[in-house]
Chains A and B, each alone.
Chain A
Amino acid sequence: AKYISQCIDEIKQELKQDNIAVKANAVCKLTYLQMLGYDISWAAFNIIEVMSASKFTFKRIGYLAASQSFHEGTDVIMLTTNQIRKDLSSPSQYDTGVALTGLSCFVTPDLARDLANDIMTLMSHTKPYIRKKAVLIMYKVFLKYPESLRPAFPRLKEKLEDPDPGVQSAAVNVICELARRNPKNYLSLAPLFFKLMTSSTNNWVLIKIIKLFGALTPLEPRLGKKLIEPLTNLIHSTSAMSLLYECVNTVIAVLISLSSGMPNHSASIQLCVQKLRILIEDSDQNLKYLGLLAMSKILKTHPKSVQSHKDLILQCLDDKDESIRLRALDLLYGMVSKKNLMEIVKKLMTHVDKAEGTTYRDELLTKIIDICSQSNYQYITNFEWYISILVELTRLEGTRHGHLIAAQMLDVAIRVKAIRKFAVSQMSALLDSAHLLASSTQRNGICEVLYAAAWICGEFSEHLQEPHHTLEAMLRPKVTTLPGHIQAVYVQNVVKLYANILQQKEQAGEAEGAQAVTQLMVDRLPQFVQSADLEVQERASCILQLVKHIQKLQAKDVPVAEEVSALFAGELNPVAPKAQKKVPVPEGLDLDAWINEPLSDSESEDERPRAVFHEEEQRRPKHRPSEADEEELARRREARKQEQANNPFYIKSSPSPQKRYQDTPGVEHIPVVQIDLSVPLKVPGLPMSDQYVRLEEERRHRQKLEKDKRRKKRKEKEKKGKRRHSSLPTESDEDIAPAQQVDIVTEEMPENALPSDEDDKDPNDPYRALDIDLDKPLADSEKLPVQKHRNAETSKSPEKDVPVVEKKSKKPKKKEKKHKEKERDKEKKREKEKKKSPKHKKKKHKKEKEERTKGKKKSKKQPLGSEEAAGEPVQNGAAEEEPLPPESSYSLLAENSYVKMTCDIRGSLQEDSQVTVAIVLENRSSSILKGMELSVLDSLNARMARPQGSSVHDGVPVPFQLPPGVSNEAQYVFTIQSIVMAQKLKGTLSFIAKNDEGATHEKLDFRLHFSCSSYLTTTPCYSDAFAKLLESGDLSMSSVKVDGIRMSFQNLLAKICFHHHFSVVERVDSCASMYSRSIQGHHICLLVKKGENSVSVDGKCSDSTLLSNLLEEMKATLAKC
Chain B
Amino acid sequence: MLSESSLFLKGVLLGSILCVLMTMLAHIKIDYGKRTHHHERHHLQAPTKEDTLKISEDERTELSKSFRVYCIILVKPKDVRLWAAVKETWAKHCDKAEFFSSENVKVFESVNMETNDMWLMMRKAYKYAFDKYRDQYNWFFLAHPTTFAIIENLKYFLLKKNYSQPFYLGHTAKSGDLEYVSVGGGIVLSIESIKRLNSLLSIPEKCPEKGRMVREVSEDKQLAVCLKYAGVFAENAEDSKGKDVFNTKSVGIFIKEAMTNHPNQVVEGCCSDMAITFNGLTCNQMYVMMYGVYHLRAFGHVFNDVLVFLPINGSDND
B and A form one assembly: no
Chain B residues with CB under 8 Å of chain A are none
Chain A residues with CB under 8 Å of chain B are none
